[in-house]
């Protein structure tokens, strides 16, 4: 008798899970590298969008700066020719505190920048960092507004500075608007008769240009790149996730199938070795056991004549040798199963024969028999001798499950796919799920007597008939064996 311990079941499950994980490890690595690559691509895309926006800013600054430089040079020429020279000739010097001179300069500047989207023009004095003129009246006369750019322009170096605020986040509703401003500083020089600027610097011209619209377009481009990239990555992620999940299920199924086949192969190898050993031992035991039984039967007859009343001792030997012989025959049947010889037959007739055989046992244990055998069942391929033995094993198992009496129900019917189904139910002690999973394994038994081979042999017989057998059971709710056989 072999009993499966709970701890052994847990250890077996753990080993099986470890084998499954090992089988799926390469796929898990592929999945990891796939999603990692996707994340790297997303990061690279975001970096690319940032690089594109930065390059667009540089291009915008360069183009706007060149435009402002050309405008500033033109403004330098126009102011010097149309304001400085006429004013010096008329007034002898330039004094912008004079409203007439200031108005003349203002008219010249505004005529030059008209229609050019210039926010403001400011002229700084060369002797100190003070605003001498500006299209913005409020800053005229204020000192130290020029900063470093003013100092560079005063030294003869034209320069620009881009001031901007806001990012992609500012494209969202109810956020601060984007702003961008270009400030260009050039030295205000005297102009020769040839039109070429001289080295004499009379001040610094600052041109402020509003580039908020252009900057907003760049940010929108950046936002579009990020949005499109995010959408594409999200779609790729969902598609990849679906593919990987499906592949994972397929791989896991194949891994489980492989483990199952490996387990079946290992079990078949173990059973083959065990069967060889059992067959050898059983064969060696069978002959001496037959001699012991024959001798005990002879002794029983002689003791009955010599010492009446003591012959029961020899009868005990006969009975026990008969029981041992049945066990040996079970071992031999398991180790060397008979060849299945299928022929068309009626399952109901075989069931009736088995029920007649166990009728006296049912009566002894006060077990009620309920038969529901469907008439006109199609013939099935069966080996009458082997299938009869399988039915007896199941019926005896049901009787043993009801030591205090009960009900045994046997029914036949047409099942799915046209197969004939035989169901044998008892309302005995039942079994738990763990026991139900092991019930058909060789040498497994939850009884105090028996080899644990009866139901294993039964399953082998059903398999030999190309049929299927399974059970449904619960503690204190009884057990039902289902056998389905293909029709002839």
pLDDT at 266 over 60: yes
Q: What's the whole-number mean pLDDT along residues 403-427?
A: 89
Q: What is the pLDDT of residue 1?
A: 34
Look up tokens 């430089």; give the residue.
Answer: 69
Per the DSSP assignment, residues forming a β-bridge with 367 are 406
Render pLDDT for 330-366 as a digit per residue (tens, 0 to 9): 665 665 666 778 889 999 999 999 999 889 889 889 9
Please report, for the domain that includes residue 90, its CATH number. 3.30.450.20
Which CA distances in Å does 208 have to 61, 102, 229, 243? 13, 20, 36, 56
Please report, for the domain that includes residue 379, its CATH number. 3.30.565.10
Which CA distances in Å does 417 have to 47, 57, 423, 485? 61, 73, 17, 10
Domain of residue 465: give its range. 340-485
Q: What's the whole-number mean pLDDT along residues 468-481?
A: 89
Tell me the pTM. 0.45
Q: Residue 106: pLDDT band by 50, 70, 90 thresholds?
A: very high
**Going by C-beta distance under 8 Å and a sequence separation of 6 or more, which residues neighbour residue 42?**
229, 230, 233
On whether residue 255 sits in a domain, the answer given is no
> Range with the lowest mean pLDDT among 43-57, 203-217, 402-416?
43-57
Q: Residue 295: pLDDT band by 50, 70, 90 thresholds?
A: confident
Render pLDDT for 192-206 as a digit per residue (tens, 0 to 9): 877 788 888 999 999
Assigned token pair, 377: 């069942």
What does 315-384 look like in DSSP terms, one character per residue?
A: HHHHHHHHHHHHHHHHHHHHHSPPPP--EEE-HHHHHHHHHHHTHHHHHHTTEEEEEEEPTTPPPEEE-H
Out of 207, 226, 245, a domain closes at 226
Using the 8-state DSSP alphabet, how is residue 139 labeled?
A: G
Distance CA(266)–CA(264), nearest Å, equals: 5
On whether residue 430 sits in a domain, the answer given is yes
Render pLDDT for 56-96 as a digit per residue (tens, 0 to 9): 777 877 887 888 888 888 999 899 999 999 988 888 888 88
Distance CA(473)–CA(464), nearest Å, equals: 24
Decide: 158 and 170 in contact? Cβ < 8 Å: no
Please tell me whether residues 210 and 73 are part of one structural domain: yes
Q: Is 400 helix (H, G, I), strand (E, B) or coil?
A: helix
Long-range contacts, 46-53 (Cβ 8 Å, 24+): 46/226, 46/229, 48/225, 49/222, 49/225, 49/226, 49/229, 50/222, 52/221, 52/222, 52/225, 53/218, 53/219, 53/221, 53/222, 53/225
On whether residue 328 sits in a domain, the answer given is no
User: Shortest CA distance to 428 belongs to which of 478, 472, 475, 363?
Assistant: 478
Q: What's the whole-number mean pLDDT along residues 108-136?
A: 90
Q: Residue 230: pLDDT band by 50, 70, 90 thresholds?
A: confident
Angle value at C-alpha 245, between 244 and 251, nearest 5 degrees: 85
On whether residue 56 sits in a domain, the answer given is yes
Render pLDDT for 360-380 as a digit per residue (tens, 0 to 9): 889 889 999 999 998 888 999
On whether residue 167 sits in a domain, the answer given is yes
Out of 203, 226, 249, a domain closes at 226
Out of 181, 202, 226, a domain closes at 226
Q: What is the pLDDT of residue 6?
A: 46
End-to-end CA distance of the chain: 38
Percentage with pLDDT > 70 across the chain: 83
Helices and strands per DSSP (H, E), number in the chain: 11, 12
Q: What is the pLDDT of residue 411?
A: 92
On whether residue 284 sits in a domain, the answer given is no
User: Shortest CA distance to 392 belongs to which of 437, 361, 433?
Assistant: 361
Please tell me whether residues 34 and 175 are part of one structural domain: yes
Angle value at C-alpha 111, between 105 and 115, nearest 5 degrees: 140
Count up the domains in the chain and report the number. Answer: 2
Q: What's the whole-number mean pLDDT along residues 444-473?
A: 77
Q: What is the pLDDT of residue 227?
A: 81
Q: What is the pLDDT of residue 195?
A: 77
**Going by C-beta distance under 8 Å and a sequence separation of 6 or more, which residues neighbour residue 113?**
71, 75, 121, 135, 207
pLDDT at 46 over 70: yes
Decide: 125 and 201 in contact? Cβ < 8 Å: no
Please tell me whether residues 213 and 358 are part of one structural domain: no
Length of the chain: 488
On whether residue 80 sits in a domain, the answer given is yes
φ, ψ of residue 387 to 5 degrees: the values are -65, -35
Q: What is the pLDDT of residue 2?
A: 36
On whether residue 9 sits in a domain, the answer given is no
Assigned token pair, 143: 């000192």
């Amino acid at each position: 008798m072999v009993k499966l311990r709970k701890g052994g079941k847990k250890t077996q499950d753990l080993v099986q899970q470890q084998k499954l994980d090992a089988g799926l490890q390469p796929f898990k690595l592929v999945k990891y590298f796939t999603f990692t690559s996707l994340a790297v691509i997303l990061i690279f895309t975001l970096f690319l969008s940032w690089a594109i926006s930065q390059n667009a800013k540089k291009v915008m600054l360069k183009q706007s700066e060149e435009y402002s430089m050309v405008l500033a040079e033109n403004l330098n020429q126009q102011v010097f020719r149309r304001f400085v020279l006429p004013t010096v000739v008329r007034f002898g010097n330039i004094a912008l505190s004079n409203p007439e001179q200031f108005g003349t300069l203002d008219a010249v500047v505004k005529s030059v920048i008209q229609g050019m989207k210039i926010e403001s023009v400011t002229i700084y004095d060369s002797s100190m960092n003070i605003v001498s003129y500006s299209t913005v009246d409020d800053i005229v006369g204020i000192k130290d507004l020029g900063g470093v750019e003013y100092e560079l322009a005063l030294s003869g170096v034209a320069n620009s500075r881009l001031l901007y605020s806001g990012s992609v986040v500012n494209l969202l509703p109810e956020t601060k608007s984007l702003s961008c401003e270009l400030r260009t500083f050039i030295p205000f020089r005297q102009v020769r008769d040839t039109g070429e600027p001289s080295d004499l610097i009379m001040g610094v011209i600052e041109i402020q240009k509003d580039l908020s619209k252009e900057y907003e377009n760049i940010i929108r481009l950046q936002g579009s790149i990020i949005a499109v990239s995010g959408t594409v990555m999200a779609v790729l992620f969902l598609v990849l996730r679906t593919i990987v999940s499906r592949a994972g299920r397929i791989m896991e199924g194949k891994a489980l199938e492989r483990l199952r086949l490996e387990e079946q192969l290992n079990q078949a190898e173990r059973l083959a070795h065990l069967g060889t050993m059992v067959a050898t031992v059983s064969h060696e035991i069978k002959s001496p056991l037959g001699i012991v039984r024959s001798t005990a039967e002879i002794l029983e007859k002689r003791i009955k004549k010599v010492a009446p009343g003591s012959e029961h001792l020899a009868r005990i030997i006969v009975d026990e040798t008969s029981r041992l012989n049945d066990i040996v025959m079970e071992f031999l049947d398991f180790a060397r199963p008979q060849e299945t010889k299928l022929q068309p037959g009626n399952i109901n007739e075989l069931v009736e024969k088995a029920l007649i055989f166990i009728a006296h046992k049912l009566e002894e244990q006060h077990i009620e028999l309920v038969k529901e055998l469907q008439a006109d069942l199609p013939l099935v391929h069966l080996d009458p001798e082997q299938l009869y033995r399988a039915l007896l094993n199941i019926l005896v198992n049901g009787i043993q499950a009801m030591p205090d009496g009960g009900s045994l129900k046997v029914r036949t019917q047409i099942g799915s796919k046209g197969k004939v189904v035989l169901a044998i139910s008892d309302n005995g002690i039942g079994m738990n799920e763990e026991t139900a999973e092991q019930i058909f394994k060789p040498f497994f038994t939850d009884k105090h007597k028996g080899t644990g081979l009866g139901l294993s042999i039964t399953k082998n017989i059903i398999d030999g008939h190309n049929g299927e057998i399974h059970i449904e059971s619960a503690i204190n709710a009884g057990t039902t064996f289902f056998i389905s056989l293909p029709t002839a």
